[in-house]
Amino acid sequence: MLFNSVEFLLFLPSVFILYWFVFNRSLHWQNILILIASYFFYGWWSWKFMVLLALSTFLDYLYGFGVALQNRKRARLFLWLSVLNNLGILAVFKYYNFFALQFQQGLALLGLHTNVVLLQVAIPIGISFYTFHGMSYVFDIYRDKQKPVKNFIDYAVFVSFFPLLVAGPIERASHLLPQIRKKRFFNNIQAADGCRLILWGLFKKVVIADSLAVIVDNIFTHYHDQHASSLIVGAIAFSFQIYGDFSGYTDIALGTAKLFGFELLTNFKFPYFSRDIAEFWRRWHISLSSWFRDYLYIPLGGSKQGKLKAVRNTFIIFLVSGFWHGASWKYIAWGGIHACGFLPLLLLNRNRKHTSDVVAQERRLPSGRELAQMMVTFTFVTFAWVFFRAADMREAIGYLTSAVTNYKQPKDLLMCLSVCCYIIPLIGCDWWLRRDERSLKAPRRIKSVIYVVLALLVLFYFGKQTNFIYFQF
């Protein structure tokens, strides 16, 4: 079920009414309702996916008790079983065909020709997200940061909570489970904030991202016939398409969770105002980058064992992060590009320069230096996005080559103007909100007008139900 669908617009108020007006006297029954609603929401795509989700949830629930054993050898055994189980699920459904084809091509280079068996199965939606939920829960128990949850319903809600199930944010057990196990009361302010977030998320998805998607798809499909300037604009358009699409999804998820009394982790903090790549990754898909930092980078030694190992660990997490997004060399290249951009900052000890401050914190406009830093960072990120968006490595390289050589094709000024009409308002809104995330500082009447305009735009553009980009991961 898509957030930007009529079905969800019927599903959400139905669950909301049952949750607060029928099951409100019992926390246990509220959680059961959330669990049923989550599986219904997920099963809307395929009931077969529900079986895999339930199996993964049940196994990690059991592993949680195993890794809590006082006998550390046995605890470590259950930890590895959980890792193998979750990575095994990912390997079969998401990566098997990729590795099988690479194996076949490797043998062909040696003169050995063979036919490999490929799985004809769709990748279950959200598989990378809910497996990471389960692994983080087991890791935290093993590291004594979390106690095993005895109530299976509570744990199952943590894994499958429908607002975050298919595209995150990737929650931590220590943050979400206490909210699941605690009595919740309806809060008018929290619910109003949730509705505003849902509206803002729908605007970014339906009005901005989906409109840009039409332009981007046409440019990338026919990049050979496009002028170099159009290709550059197309890459910029995709940068804002994926931002509007993914951050829009996150806003809807956070807003929906607020309607039920939950506060989810922030996943975006205006990443395109970053002044270097390190800051970008502290602001883009925060839950994933922090997951890799806590469960991969730090266990590998982080940056505390010398520069050489720090460089190694940096490349590992970026390459793994790229591969997490999909079984393709283009995603690995995308991760490698970001690793190369991060490396100079690491070697110069400048990777933690912008950890908490906001650009132009006390000013309306950035300084010339800040503006240059943001433009350089955005240009680098946009260059890398070409590999992310292209169908494969060949198309990505061909697209970039054409972007610096195709000057004989006619310019499409109307297309460039259309892109600007969508991205400039989004940049302006983000700049307005950057100091106090999600809080619109304006007189009440002006805010009311803004919300009405956003709602009318969403209704006007609402029609074609398009998947969110991160559903494929």
Give the integer Cα–Cα distance in Å for 245 and 273: 17
The 3-class secondary structure across the chain, one letter per residue, is: CCCCCHHHHHHHHHHHHHHHHCCCCCHHHHHHHHHHHHHHHHHCCCHHHHHHHHHHHHHHHHHHHHCCCCCHHHHHHHHHHHHHHHHHHHHHHHHHHHHHHHHHHHHHHCCCCCCCCCCCCCCCCCHHHHHHHHHHHHHHHHCCCCCCCCCHHHHHHHHHCCCCCCCCCCCCHHHHHHHHCCCCCCCHHHHHHHHHHHHHHHHHHHHHHHHHHHHHHHHHHCHHHCCHHHHHHHHHHHHHHHHHHHHHHHHHHHHHHHHCCCCCCCCCCCHHHCCCHHHHHHHCCHHHHHHHHHHHHCCCCCCCCCHHHHHHHHHHHHHHHHHHHCCCHHHHHHHHHHHHHHHHHHHCCCCCCCCCCCCCCCCCCCCHHHHHHHHHHHHHHHHHHHHHHCCCHHHHHHHHHHHHHCCCCCCCHHHHHHHHHHHHHHHHHHHHHCCCCCCCCCCHHHHHHHHHHHHHHHHHHCCCCCCCHHHHC
- Annotated catalytic residue, options 285, 325, 338, 354: 325
Residues 6+ apart with CB under 8 A from 23: 29, 30, 32, 33
> Is residue 325 annotated as a catalytic residue, yes or no?
yes
CB-neighbour burial class of residue 336 (10 A; exposed 0-12, middle 13-18, buried 19+): middle
Q: Per the structure block, which two tokens stand in for 460?
A: 């006007």
Give the integer Cα–Cα distance in Å for 255 and 197: 5
In contact, 158 and 56? CB cutoff 8 Å: no
The sign one gets for the Cα dihedral 134, 140, 145, 147 is positive
Give the integer Cα–Cα distance in Å for 450 and 18: 31
In contact, 229 and 408? CB cutoff 8 Å: no
Catalytic (active-site) positions: 325
